[in-house]
Chain A
Amino acid sequence: MSAPAETEHAERPRAHAKPRSGISALGVIGELLILAGVLLGLYVVWELFYTDVQGDRAQREIVEELAWADPEVVEGDVATSSTETIPDDLKVTDEDPPAMDYPEFTETFATMMVPRWGDDYVRPISEGDTRRDVLDPLGIGHYPDTALPGETGNFAVSGHRTTYGKPFNRVDELEQGDYLVVQTEDIWAVYHVTDWEIVDPSAIEVIAPTPNDPAAGETGRFITLTTCHPEYSAAERWVVYGELDYWAPTGHGVPAELLEVPQ
């Protein structure tokens, strides 16, 4: 008889401890911590997943809206279609292309193709190197006041390696001799990779007119790609150097380099 009574007695305080009106500070803190955890989790989902969804879509649309972007490149079937290639007598190696108007800030003035990254790789290049205005919403950014495609000097561009459509995600796969093809409204510029290295974020000499030799001035036609390193970090920068093979006017086919997709 006494044992059930004891059980009843033991349960009663528990029922009393749960009244709806009672607000336990610990409970509220617990709920706020759960909320904070959910928000942090959502932020990670946004950064690692949603920015890529948005970035890929936005950069795709930008390329499709460029009236001058080569349609077969945009379609991604340039390697399989019987596309005309640029004849050798139109390739220029020893002089600058006709001067183009220097693009406005955030203006998309070129596209980039990298056969190593697949025959469907085509991304817009826009003027500026800030994240908020260029790199996050528009993809690849061109360092202000560096050379334009095909010109003497250094055509220096920057892009995300992870998130926001990650245009330079596969930068670590590039090998010496791989082609970097840039198209503007007027010209094709074909570069090849000469070297790569990992530098500190403050190593501005890599985008000098002659990479890593700011005192030398303009000594050739270079391209420099910069992106994050290691992935998901900004501790260092992965830098790819290249040199111009030739430039050629648009409207006479595509560079033959686009047709060879390295395996």
Chain B
Amino acid sequence: MISTWLWSRIPGPTALKILLLIVVIAAVVMVLFEWVFPWISTVIPIQDPTIEEAP
């Protein structure tokens, strides 16, 4: 399984593993929130408030 494989690849004792995992997850979430999601939301125009000529 991916998760067990990942877990075995993280170095250190369990406490360190958990800490590293939290740091990595936080970094991934930040990248998603700051760059990936803003980009996705401009590609799927479900929130457009402007009036414009029909394409």
Q: A residues within 8 Å of B by Cβ?
A: 20, 23-24, 27-28, 31-32, 39, 42-43, 46-47, 50, 129, 131-132, 135-136, 141, 143, 158-164, 168, 199, 201-204, 206-207, 226-228, 232-234, 237, 239
Contacts and interface: CB of A to CB of B under 8 A. Distances in A.
B52 A201 contact: yes
Given A131-B45, A159-B49, 6 more contacts: A32-B2, A42-B33, A43-B40, A143-B51, A158-B51, A234-B47
Contacts of A129: 50, 52
5 contacts: A24-B1, A42-B33, A158-B50, A160-B47, A233-B46
Nearest to A206: B51
B54 interface: yes
B49 A135 contact: yes
A234 B46 contact: yes
Contacts of A20: 4
Given A28-B2, A31-B1, A136-B38, A228 B51 contact: no
Nearest to A34: B3
Of all A-B residue pairs in the complex, the 6 with the closest CB atoms, nearest first, are A202-B54, A234-B48, A158-B50, A227-B49, A228-B49, A46-B37
Given A28-B2, A46-B37, A162 B53 contact: no
A224 to B, nearest CB: 9
Contacts, number: 87
Contact of B1 (A28, A50, A168, A232): A28
Interface of B: 1-4, 29, 32-33, 37-38, 40-42, 45-54
B38 A234 contact: no
Contacts of B41: 47, 136
B16 to A, nearest CB: 21
Contacts of B46: 232-234
B49 A168 contact: yes
Given A31-B1, A31-B2, A201 B51 contact: yes
A24 to B, nearest CB: 8
Contacts of A204: 51-53
Contact of A158 (B4, B38, B42, B49): B49
Contacts of B48: 131, 201, 228, 234
B2 A226 contact: no
Nearest to B2: A31
Contact of B50 (A39, A132, A135): A135
A202 B37 contact: no
A27 B1 contact: yes
